[in-house]
A = this chain, B = another copy of it.
Amino acid sequence: MTQHYQAQIYVTLRPSVLDPAGTAVQAGLSHMGYDNVTSVRIGKYVEVTLTAPSEADARQQLDQICDQLLANPVIENYRFDLTQVSTPMNTYS
């Protein structure tokens, strides 16, 4: 039977990769008076809803989706949390 799953995917730059956008945000915060902020790193957060026959299938497919489209494996890491939802979540409502 087909199950509905919601995945929360976090894509982050690898620690060895410089993050100019994060550095710019940190500089902006410093100019705004928040000079106690010592590091800012910016990543992506993606919520995906999908159907799959099992959680294992959903995880396998999400790994492929992240490797092929959402993350650049050369410079980015990803991880995701997967939750089974009883009804298809319509996050557009």
* Chain A residues with a Cβ under 8 A of chain B: 4, 10-12, 15-16, 18, 22, 25, 28-29, 32, 34, 36-52, 61, 65, 68-70, 88-93
Known: A29-B65, A39-B90, A88-B38. A47 touches B15 (CB 8 A): no
Task: List, in ascending order, chain B residues with CB within 8 A of A47's CB.
Answer: 12, 39-41, 43
Known: A32-B68, A65-B29, A93-B15. A37 touches B48 (CB 8 A): yes
Nearest B-chain residue to A38, judged by Cβ: B49
Contact of A70 among B25, B44, B91 (CB under 8 A): B25
Contact between chains at A15 and B91 (CB < 8 Å): yes
Q: Smallest CB–CB gap between A71 and chain B, Å?
A: 12
